[in-house]
Chains A and B, each alone.
Chain A
Amino acid sequence: MPDPLPSAALPPISTPVGEVRFSLPQLLREVDYERQNSALGRELVDQAEIKAMLHRRRLPENAPPG
């Protein structure tokens, strides 16, 4: 019966993190940029949604006190 391979020759079960390419502030800046410039950030709202936004904005002004 042949000997099993030495452990050094076996592939690692998982690759440990060797380096960090981006700092957290860099990542947060990237997220912020994406929010402003991605398709989501540039989402066009239709006239019905604009109407709803205007209505929501006016509600507090027109709401009765108390």
Chain B
Amino acid sequence: MNEEFAHKVLIVDDEPHIRAFLRLVVGELGALEVREAGDGPNALLMYKHFEPNLVLLDVNLPGDDGLAILGQLRKLDPQARVVMMTAVASREMVEKCIAGGVLNYIRKDSPRALLLQLLRETWAAATAKPAA
């Protein structure tokens, strides 16, 4: 049976209040352990040690942006499950992140109910076993 939601979630966002909000959201979905990083280098370090099932990654980060961090995460773990959570939703950025293999690209200015629904659906789709 699939987990209802990721047990271990890493939230990468430079804004503490957004991290706090997303922590509540994933907690509501059933995440048991949540860690936070405010920038790319910390996110990569934390990924290695925490080994999360899911990463929520912002695009606008100090230093390397989320797209660059996505590439570095992929090198670290090609199977990394990453959802972009951002207010930056230019067509170009969305296309690049999709090409980078993200599970979803969610606008964090979406209503809370939609965020919950999208994250739940994304996790279910990512962990669904293929039909026999």
Contact = CB atoms under 8 A, between A and B. Distances in A.
Interface of A: 36, 41-47, 50, 53-54, 57
A50 B105 contact: yes
B99 A50 contact: no
A47 B90 contact: no
Interface of B: 89-92, 94-95, 98-99, 104-107, 110, 114, 118
B44 to A, nearest CB: 25
A54 B104 CA distance: 7
A42 B90 contact: yes
The winner among A41, A43, A46, A54 for most chain B CB atoms within 10 A is: A54
Contact of B118 (A46, A47, A57): A47
Contact of A47 (B92, B99, B114): B114
A59 to B, nearest CB: 12
A53 B92 contact: no
A47 B106 contact: yes
Contacts of A53: 94-95, 98
A22 to B, nearest CB: 26
Given A54-B98, A57-B99, A41 B92 contact: yes
A57 B98 contact: yes
Contacts of A54: 98, 104-105
Q: What are the 9 A-B residue pairs with the smallest beta carbon separation, nearest first?
A: A44-B89, A57-B98, A50-B105, A42-B90, A45-B91, A45-B89, A43-B91, A50-B94, A45-B94
Given A47-B114, A50-B105, A54-B105, A41 B90 contact: yes
A46 B105 CA distance: 10
A11 to B, nearest CB: 49
Contacts of B95: 53
Contact of A44 (B90, B99, B110): B90
